[in-house]
A and B are shown apart, each in its own frame.
Chain A
């Protein structure tokens, strides 16, 4: 029995099956800052592949002086936007950052660029780097 398990493990290893990254980003959209504007936004889904909650407390980007987690809402006909100190992603779940809801507010762009890198920190540990091309806001 032990031999079988060992052989299976070796077989899986030989096939190059890698462990999943702890946090995976999909459906990434970063809007290009409009001419003259000091801010933009990023939307994406973040899937926690671990068995522990992940707490995104900080996001950085080389292309922006500041990145903040924000949440927009429309309640009683009034549009509001508030900062979120920490984005909690429970074990095995996906947090969706989308238009009109939670999003990354990208502030004060450093020059012009075609792609953006975003670093996500779980408490103080870098857990994910995302590279994405910017997309113009269609008029």
Chain B
């Protein structure tokens, strides 16, 4: 190969490399911080529970909205309010950035013994407007939770007091009432602000 051909070869190789690089960048799927999108969204299990107004609801209550679903309880003073605060703050940031649609926050009680519709309604109102509170009988809550791989178990304390152990993950349910994505943590505002638009846009 003469010097001229050699130079042409280098130029072609460089152009090819640059082309491959640009194409790769353009086609690379955006990386999520903490979210895991299910390969195929799964319909929510059937259930019959109550919303914060005491109205009977089924899985259809999730239709028409993106929903950030957290299983917790109102007598949880630490992890539950901290997680819900993060979701509320993330939603505020997304709203300020013009994100549309915005996800709704849904709290499903793992403590139906104490969490009346009224109480869960008062509680969830502390984390923004248009949230969904869900409670009801234990059997139906267990049906919903176990169908989504959510664990919860009552733990006896002293003098009749008790706490409830529960899965700390946040689930994203899509407007077709399907379990769409999972956020296992760490629950930080910036992770939700980064991941939610990408997931809801289908990236």
- By secondary structure, the B interface counts as mixed
Interface size class of A (residues with CB under 8 A): 20 to 34
A100: chain B residues at CB < 8 Å are 78-79, 82
B163 within 8 A of A: yes
Contacts of A99 in B (CB 8 A): 78, 82
CB of A81 within 8 A of CB of B122, answer no
Say yes or no: A77-B77 contact (C-beta < 8 A), given A36-B119, A139-B128. no
Most interface-central of A74, A106, A138, A139 (chain B CB within 10 A): A139
Does the CB pair A79–B79 fall under 8 Å? Answer: yes
B78 and A70 form a contact (CB under 8 A): yes
Chain B 130-141 near chain A by CB (<8 Å), digits 1 or 0: 000000000000
Q: Is B39 an interface residue (CB 8 A)?
A: no
Q: Does A41 make an interface contact (CB < 8 A)?
A: yes
Tell whether, in the assembled complex, residue A139 and residue B126 are in contact, meaning their CB atoms are under 8 Å apart: yes
Stretch binding the partner chain, chosen from B57-65, B164-172, B192-200: B164-172
Is A14 on the interface with B (CB-CB < 8 A)? no
A-B residue pairs, 10 tightest by C-beta: A36-B122, A41-B77, A79-B168, A72-B78, A79-B79, A81-B163, A74-B168, A39-B77, A34-B126, A80-B165
